[in-house]
Amino acid sequence: MELRQLRSLLAVVEEGRFALAARRLYLSPAAVTTHVAQLERELGVVLLERHPVLPTAAGRRLIRHARTMLDAEQVAIDEIADPGRGEDRVLRVGVMAHGSAEITPAIIDVFARARPRVRLSIVGLTFREHVTALLDHRVDVAFVRPAPQDDRLDSEVLTTESRIVVVSANSAIAEAGTVRVADVLDLPYVDLPPGTMPRFADFLYFNGLRNGERPRLAPDVALTPHEVLTSAALGRGAGSSLRSFERYYRWPGTACVPVSDAPAESSVLTVRRDDPNPDVRGFRSIAATLVRSVAEGLSPESVSRKRP
């Protein structure tokens, strides 16, 4: 099995026609056809239905691995093309709260094994560092939510989830089990310190659903999920997050209650726009590959165990 064969297979699947795949790869249609046929002979399975051109079940399984292998090739090219960076390279990874759930450690793990010369520094981010950690060059990539609205940054969606509110376990909201947006707008939400980006406040307080009304604020100021949970356990303030929050923060005296009609929100990987660092490009490439694999039915854990 050769990378050029995998590249031809992917191009055919993505273009839907052998001729278009050949044009994209600057090959003849006969060469692309030969590459796919060679793969099928070597593996002993049919990878593509021809009329119309669609991957078989075996083809879909191979495509997942092909994308990982081709992305790993690009990582290797970047590594070799930049030998002057030396042995002391550091990539600073910012993680707000639990990041993008299970896919966060999977991405970090695959990158660490793909680029063992790069030392990874994991930096916990507060709510106020939603944007500033990147703009101040304190981190190189950041797992945050929601996507920043800043022309100096680029973001890629990693997960999209339903919403929950975090409240006291003794509250009427907790007893309800599931609520609607109208039920949670008047909760006393934890306050945010000066300097917090408005986009994060909009996310926390469901501001897009308030028709311009300001949220009611609790006496407590929060910078981290732990401070939100403490306020909620005391019955003083509430918070909100993505559904995966409940898997990571089981806090005595609190409840995470689904908000059934709230629009879903995304967690993202954010970087500085046009950052020339090849390690940042490699990290983004690995993240994109894992997101595709998860979308195709693989768990983050199973993907991270496969060495790129």
Position 308 scores a pLDDT of 46
Tell whether 125 and 210 lie within a shared domain. Answer: no
User: In angstroms, what CA-CA distances link 55 with 16, 260, 275?
Assistant: 10, 37, 36
The upper half-sphere exposure of residue 1, i.e. CA atoms within 13 Å in the direction of its Cβ, equals 14
The answer to whether the beta carbons of residues 184 and 259 sit under 8 Å apart is yes
The strand pairing partners of 123, in sequence order, are: 94
Tell whether 135 and 67 lie within a shared domain. Answer: no
Tell whether 294 and 145 lie within a shared domain. Answer: yes
In terms of Cβ atoms closer than 10 Å to its own Cβ (0-12, 13-18, 19+), residue 117 is: exposed
Tens-place pLDDT, residues 190-238: 999 988 999 999 999 999 999 999 999 999 999 999 999 999 999 999 9
Domain boundary among 35, 66, 81: 81
E-assigned strand segments in the chain: 48-50, 53-55, 90-96, 119-125, 141-144, 153-161, 163-168, 189-191, 217-221, 239-242, 254-259, 265-272
Structural domain count of the chain: 3
Evaluate if residue 12 carries a pLDDT over 50. Answer: yes
Domain boundary among 81, 113, 133: 81
What mean pLDDT do residues 238-251 have?
Answer: 96
Domain that holds residue 173: 163-263
Confidence bin at 258 (pLDDT 50/70/90)? very high
The answer to whether the beta carbons of residues 257 and 174 sit under 8 Å apart is yes
Strands ordered across the beta sheet of 239-242: 239-242, 163-168, 254-259
Domain boundary among 263, 280, 296: 263
Tell whether 170 and 241 lie within a shared domain. Answer: yes
Question: Distance (Å, rounded) from C-alpha 103 to C-alpha 294?
Answer: 9
Question: Distance (Å, rounded) from C-alpha 158 to C-alpha 218?
Answer: 31
For the chain, what is the radius of gyration of the CA atoms?
23
The strand pairing partners of 167, in sequence order, are: 255
Question: Distance (Å, rounded) from C-alpha 37 to C-alpha 272?
Answer: 42
CATH code, 206: 3.40.190.10
Position 77 scores a pLDDT of 65
Q: Which residue has the tokens 């967690």?
A: 267
Question: Distance (Å, rounded) from C-alpha 17 to C-alpha 65?
Answer: 21
Tell whether 60 and 96 lie within a shared domain. Answer: no
As given in the structure block, the two tokens for residue 146 are 């929601």
| Helices 103-114 & 278-295 angle (0-180, nearest 10) | 130
Evaluate if residue 63 carries a pLDDT over 70. Answer: yes
What mean pLDDT do residues 148-163 have?
Answer: 94
As given in the structure block, the two tokens for residue 285 are 């490439």
CATH code, 19: 1.10.10.10
Write the DSSP assignment of 27-72 as a string of letters.
--HHHHHHHHHHHHHHHTS--EEETTEEE-HHHHHHHHHHHHHHHH
The answer to whether the beta carbons of residues 203 and 230 sit under 8 Å apart is no
- Three-state DSSP class for 161? strand
Tell whether 271 and 300 lie within a shared domain. Answer: yes
The strand pairing partners of 13, in sequence order, are: none
Tell whether 140 and 214 lie within a shared domain. Answer: no
Tell whether 92 and 238 lie within a shared domain. Answer: no
Tell whether 211 and 69 lie within a shared domain. Answer: no
Q: Which of 16-25, 75-84, 219-228 is the most confident on average?
A: 219-228
The answer to whether the beta carbons of residues 197 and 130 sit under 8 Å apart is yes
Tell whether 150 and 202 lie within a shared domain. Answer: no
The answer to which of 12-21, 262-271, 287-296 has the lowest mean pLDDT is 287-296
Tell whether 173 and 248 lie within a shared domain. Answer: yes
Tell whether 200 and 151 lie within a shared domain. Answer: no
Mean pLDDT over each residue of the chain, to the nearest integer:
89
